[in-house]
Amino acid sequence: MAYSPKSPKNIHFVTLGCPKNRVDSELMLGRLAESGMAFTMEPTDADIIVVNTCGFIEDAKRESVEVILEMAQHRTNGRAQQLVVAGCLVQRYAKELEEEIPEVDTFLGTGAYETINDVLSGIREPGQGISTPTFLHSSTAPRINTFLPHSTYVKVAEGCDQKCSFCIIPTLRGLQRSRPITDIVREAEALAARGVVEFNLVAQDLTGYGYDQNPRTNLANLLEALAAIDSLRWVRVHYLYPRPFSKALLRVLSEANNIVPYIDMPLQHIADPVLKRMNRGRPRRFVEKLLKDIRSTMPNNLTLRTSFIVGFPGETDQDFQELCTFVQEQQFDRVGIFKFSREENTPSYDLPDQVPEEVAEERHNILANLLRESSRDKQAEFLGRRLEVLVDGVSSETELLLEGRHSGQAPEVDGTIYLNDGQELASAGDIVEVEITETHDYDLVGCIHRVIHPAPSRPAHARMDAPNAPALPTNQPRLRIID
């Protein structure tokens, strides 16, 4: 089926998975909007349906297949004339999906999503979309921000050169390709000019940013460049793999006014035998020293987020106990816990001593209970404090409240602050001073005292990020996110 701006089609778009996949979806949406597509929230009204999938672990794969099958119903029995499936699941299982779900017209791998218009217009044959991913977007690509108008994800690199034994990502996303600093700066400035306040930097391995560039650069250089842009209010770093942090990196993290004191560093485990089998490359003593260096350099208001995998092959009771003790000693501010997912075509699939599901489940529950207690204690420390809070808008719980986040609360993964007093003073995108009046296990409640930084004025096409962005489509694309 071909289309042109003279015959606009309705498109329904579903995104699954992580923020990095969301960025890919936003780039696809930018291309589609550029070609004159209209968007619909209802699959029943769609001429074309696109599903951008996740294929990282078992739960994500299952969810992706369920959504594809749901959308295939509209292709078979409804109005839709074309069903496009993109993303990590396609990169991983293209052949199987082609055989099992013939309702899908086009599969696009992770390195081919930018060709979506060519495929839809028939310039490119379906089936050419699965190749080794080498594509890297730039700031000139049209993009629609599907997230909050004042907050966005900035993908600074794609792919990963690490070889963690449980992870399929390097196969799905290819080797690391970092974007040039000048291009990231250009994108950040354009976003700020369109009213974005919070910039969430993402990559598979943010600490490794720039090592693949010629000449080499690094994360410290990138952050220094971003710190020099006055119009950026909050810059947040995600997915900092525990590699050595240079003095320059620690310095910019601790000194730059617009880089929030928030470190998101997935540690995965702490017992050396498990770290070794995970092929994480560095032992417990390295991780402890790194945490100590970070804490001593960034003593003020640091929020430390991490994640761990329980039930990894060969994890003994002793290893698990070591992890529990470590977590209690370190008093992380936020911890994500995941049960090991045995993924084919990863080295950990064939490791001996796979941990039974019920043991992994029990360990997950034990650690979750420990963390709930420590989260409650940490939250209690906020009572009575005054914090800078970014207002996200009207609360999803009730229209009577606003909600926002302090700098230690990343969007989508951390808690929120419900603002139940002073709402008349503020609106979305403002940074306000809030006094915390109640604390809960994960969320806080507070009252607004004053506006510190009003939201930047936002032009009419503010949801379009790229400098050459086309006009805003009529409806925001539908998003479904797996956390």
Q: Could you give the C-alpha distances from 418 to 400, 406, 469, in angstroms and in order?
A: 10, 11, 34
Q: How far is the CB of 205 from ligand SF4 (least distance, A)?
A: 5
Helix (H) / strand (E) element for 289: namely: helix 284-297
Q: How far is the CB of 239 from ligand SF4 (least distance, A)?
A: 7
Two tokens at 47? 């001429």
> Alpha-carbon torsion 187, 189, 195, 200, what sign?
positive
- Residues touching ligand SF4, count (CB under 6 A): 9
Q: Could you give the C-alpha distances from 296 to 216, 243, 325, 396, 455, in angstroms and in order?
A: 28, 17, 21, 37, 33
Q: How far is the CB of 135 from ligand SF4 (least distance, A)?
A: 17
Pick 34 or 158: Cβ nearer ligand SF4 = 158
Pick 13 or 153: Cβ nearer ligand SF4 = 153
In whole angstroms, what is the distance from residue 233 CA to residue 114 CA?
Answer: 30
Pick 72 or 168: Cβ nearer ligand SF4 = 168
Report 252-271 residues binding ligand SF4 (CB under 6 A): none
Q: Where are the beta strands (DSSP E) in 156-297?
A: 157-158, 177-178, 198-202, 234-237, 259-264
Two tokens at 44? 């029943």
* Coil, helix or strand at residue 113: helix
Residue at 371: amino acid letter: L
Beta bridge partners of 309: 338
Q: How far is the CB of 119 from ligand SF4 (least distance, A)?
A: 27
Mark 16-55 with x for binding to ligand SF4 (rule: CB under 6 A) and - for no binding: ----------------------------------------
Q: How far is the CB of 139 from ligand SF4 (least distance, A)?
A: 24
| 81 is an interface residue for ligand SF4 by CB under 6 A | no
**Member of 105, 205, 403, 433 binding ligand SF4 (CB under 6 A):** 205
Q: How many CA atoms lie less than 13 Å away from 425 in the CB half-sphere?
A: 16
* Coil, helix or strand at residue 5: coil
Strands 48-53 and 82-87: parallel
Pick 146 or 204: Cβ nearer ligand SF4 = 204
Q: How many CB atoms lie under 10 A from the CB of residue 223? A: 24
Q: How far is the CB of 159 from ligand SF4 (least distance, A)?
A: 9
Q: How far is the CB of 480 from ligand SF4 (least distance, A)?
A: 22
Return the DSSP state at 239.
-
Strands 444-453 and 431-439: antiparallel
Q: How far is the CB of 167 from ligand SF4 (least distance, A)?
A: 3
Pick 164 or 431: Cβ nearer ligand SF4 = 164
Mark 216-255 with x for binding to ligand SF4 (rule: CB under 6 A) and - for no binding: -------------------------x--------------
In whole angstroms, what is the distance from residue 148 CA to residue 479 CA?
Answer: 12
Pick 161 or 357: Cβ nearer ligand SF4 = 161
Q: How far is the CB of 164 from ligand SF4 (least distance, A)?
A: 3
Report 124-183 residues binding ligand SF4 (CB under 6 A): 160, 162, 164, 167, 169-170
In whole angstroms, what is the distance from residue 208 CA to residue 143 CA?
Answer: 25
Mark 314-353 with x for binding to ligand SF4 (rule: CB under 6 A) and - for no binding: ----------------------------------------
In whole angstroms, what is the distance from residue 89 CA to residue 109 CA?
Answer: 8
Two tokens at 397? 């719980």
Pick 173 or 233: Cβ nearer ligand SF4 = 173
Pick 47 or 315: Cβ nearer ligand SF4 = 315
Pick 24 or 205: Cβ nearer ligand SF4 = 205
Write out the residues near ligand SF4 by the rule CB under 6 A.
160, 162, 164, 167, 169-170, 204-205, 241
